[in-house]
Structure 1
Amino acid sequence: MTVNPLVTCGRCPACAAGRSHLCPHRQILSMPPRPGAFAEYVCVPEGNLVTVPDGLSIERAALAEPLAVSYHAVNQGARLLGRPLSGARCVVLGGGAIGFGAALVLAMQGAGEIRLAEPNAERRAVVARGVPRVRTYAPGEPGEPGPDSADLILDAVGSRSTRAAASRLARPGAVIVHIGLLPGEEGLDVRKITLQEIVVSGSYCYTMQEFREVVDALADGRLGGLDWLEQRALSEGARAFIDIDAQRAAPKIVLRPAHRP
């Protein structure tokens, strides 16, 4: 089994409408008051368990949660764009787990052109290996897309600079999906958004149906070979967090106990 960590009430209007990720009573495993993976015991509602298909390793099934976040964001952008992604020019801002996942999902869904901005050269190299269709670039350096050049922009960072970049990249009628959760409100060009009817949407978590669909996509190989996933011993966990913070690690690390059942 793999676990959808988003716990909701199941009774509110959002849950009844199939949008449980917007439940006002939502809780997430690993955030207070619910302990997560480093607790000795974790209590999970039965309805949050999803069967892992035969042939999909539990390590790769662990990617379902972050990739479901990316999957929901791309779905949100495609719905608001109102036309097939096959004819869209898409830009992802940020090459961490969520941004990289968004590039994987865009490729799976046949996006016409995919660009990804990431200042860290090692992360750009991982993205290029994991999603060969994606063209990466470093913000502010040659190769950066010009103003008014993108139909769909996914901001997986959520900083002042990436919000400003999203505003600059958006062509008239474009869609900006804001995924990142860094603090701050600055950066968006509200005048341009108004004059050019640019749609700006937040994106948070995913629905249970989307989580199941991502598990199936992982099992079917539609999200690629996943060779970029890094596995380390649980005893190396502290170092893994340091490396992630310093951007010296793969987009996602799985820690394996020494005596795995």
Structure 2
Amino acid sequence: MKAAYFDGEKMIFDQNYPKPLSSESLVRVNLAGICGTDLEILDGYMKYNGILGHEFVGTVEKSKNSELIGKRVVGEINAGCGSCETCKIGMFRHCPNRTVLGILKRDGAFAEFVSLPEKNLHVLPDSISDEQAVFIEPLAAAFEIKEQVKLDPLWNVAVIGDGRLAQLIARVLKLSCKNITCFGRHKNKLQSLEKLGIKTKIGIEPSDEFTFDLVIEATGSNSGFSDTMKLTRPRGIVILKSTIASRENLDLTPTVVNEITLIGSRCGLFKPAIDALATGIITVDDLIDSTFPLEKFQDAIIHAKKPDTLKVFLKP
């Protein structure tokens, strides 16, 4: 099969990469998205080598469950071992023996085919397009915040960052909180949030400092954490969403002095994201940027790295 894989140093296109031969469900990839985590892996995050890509939509070609064959699906990216104590209490996403699609010991979706356990797959309604479906994994990560924190509608909330994940987080939080400000650096990206009634700012003003009850850091940059600390009120809550290969000169002193609650936040359940897209309470069409054939993955990655780019797709 065709695949674009990372050998630990560089990306390589292979016309004859081995097709998955596991007993899991086999999915033909219709479309895959380039995520900030993929770009971080290219910079050394997770020390991964293999096929990248964990945001995808595809069609099931083989499965032990015959009802799945021919169905259009998306897939949760963490596959737990099923036998450890963590899995037994239902925390498959935190299984110490897990594999993670395109991130940890499991080939991802920048290929013609991908395999996943049947329980990881979710059949999609026809109302969700392929392009929209690729957003389900990061949208689920945005909804995870609502699972971790009981949101107060009166809270003053800040989202740091204006990229793909930050955009989704702001949209999800708007369902529960009225006072949301997104701090970014790119006017064209912020305009899409302004159209949804979300307040935006370029740069932090003195009047913003230490005024937010909840701050979500989703910049994908080392500077994001220090900006987050500037905005969070004493005894406020910080959600860390960025996966950054290096956190140079990270100063945790403000978290102690101001008694900040730090919460790491990663993957989320897919059902809330699927329901939100199917019902239209969350829209993502304005976040679609461009589509490249898999063979042009290098061009796609270069484009995805540009600061004003939103979601870039690869099509096998």
TM, length-normalised to structure 1: 0.83
How many angstroms apart in 1 are the aligned matches of 2:132 and 2:247?
Answer: 34
How many angstroms apart in 1 are the aligned matches of 2:165 and 2:104?
Answer: 22
- Residue 177 of structure 1: aligned partner: 239
How many angstroms apart in 2 are the aligned matches of 1:253 and 1:145?
Answer: 36
Q: CA shift at 1:243, angstroms?
A: 1.6
Q: CA shift at 1:32, angstroms?
A: 4.8
- Residue 255 of structure 1: aligned partner: 314
Flag structure 1 segments of 5+ consecutive residues without an equivalent.
none
Q: CA shift at 1:231, angstroms?
A: 4.2
- Residue 9 of structure 1: aligned partner: 81
Output the amino acid matched with 1:241.
Answer: I
1:73–1:179 Cα contact (<8 Å) kept:
no
1:164–1:189 Cα contact (<8 Å) kept:
no
- Residue 55 of structure 1: aligned partner: 127
1:197-208 residue pairs with structure 2 within 5 A?
A: 197-206=259-268
1:89–1:152 Cα contact (<8 Å) kept:
yes
Q: What whole-Å deviation, never above 9, does each CA across 1:29-78 have from its counterpart, x for those lacking one?
A: 123532222234322111111010231122211111111112213432x2
Q: CA shift at 1:174, angstroms?
A: 0.7
- Residue 194 of structure 1: aligned partner: 256
How many angstroms apart in 2 are the aligned matches of 1:231 and 1:75?
Answer: 32
Structure (1/2) with the larger strand percentage: 2
Pick aligned residue for 2:200 from 136, 144, 149: 136
How many angstroms apart in 1 are the aligned matches of 2:207 and 2:190?
Answer: 16
Output the amino acid matched with 1:126.
Answer: S
Query: 2:116 aligns to what SS in structure 1?
Result: coil
- Residue 179 of structure 2: aligned partner: 113
Q: CA shift at 1:237, angstroms?
A: 4.1
**1:91 counterpart = 2:158:** yes
Q: CA shift at 1:248, angstroms?
A: 3.4
- Residue 103 of structure 2: aligned partner: 31
**1:20 counterpart = 2:85:** no
Evaluate the alpha carbon distance shift between residue 231 and residue 243 of structure 1 in structure 2; reply closer, same or farther with a 3 A threshold: closer
Evaluate the alpha carbon distance shift between residue 67 and residue 175 of structure 1 in structure 2; reply closer, same or farther with a 3 A threshold: same
Flag structure 2 segments of 5+ consecutive residues without an equivalent.
1-72
2:81–2:87 Cα contact (<8 Å) kept:
yes
Evaluate the alpha carbon distance shift between residue 94 and residue 145 of structure 1 in structure 2; reply closer, same or farther with a 3 A threshold: farther
Structure (1/2) with the larger helix percentage: 1
Pick aligned residue for 1:147 from 201, 209, 213: 209
Output the amino acid matched with 1:179.
Answer: K
Q: CA shift at 1:199, angstroms?
A: 0.4
Evaluate the alpha carbon distance shift between residue 112 and residue 248 of structure 1 in structure 2; reply closer, same or farther with a 3 A threshold: closer
How many angstroms apart in 1 are the aligned matches of 2:207 and 2:238?
Answer: 15
Output the amino acid matched with 1:22.
Answer: H
How many angstroms apart in 1 are the aligned matches of 2:212 and 2:139?
Answer: 23
Output the amino acid matched with 2:202.
Answer: A
2:135–2:284 Cα contact (<8 Å) kept:
no
- Residue 241 of structure 1: aligned partner: 301
Q: CA shift at 1:201, angstroms?
A: 1.3
Query: 1:151 aligns to what SS in structure 2?
Result: strand
Could you say what the CA RMSD is over the residues aligned between the two structures, in angstroms?
A: 2.3
Q: What whole-Å deviation, never above 9, does each CA across 1:200-225 have from its counterpart, x for those lacking one?
A: 1111222xxx2122111111111136
Query: 2:162 aligns to what SS in structure 1?
Result: coil
**1:226 counterpart = 2:285:** yes
Pick aligned residue for 2:170 from 76, 80, 103: 103
Evaluate the alpha carbon distance shift between residue 174 and residue 56 of structure 1 in structure 2; reply closer, same or farther with a 3 A threshold: same
Q: What whole-Å deviation, never above 9, does each CA across 1:5-51 have from its counterpart, x for those lacking one?
A: 22222233333333322211222212353222223432211111101
Q: CA shift at 1:233, angstroms?
A: 4.1
How many angstroms apart in 1 are the aligned matches of 2:109 and 2:127?
Answer: 24
1:2–1:58 Cα contact (<8 Å) kept:
no
Evaluate the alpha carbon distance shift between residue 14 and residue 22 of structure 1 in structure 2; reply closer, same or farther with a 3 A threshold: same
Query: 1:85 aligns to what SS in structure 2?
Result: coil
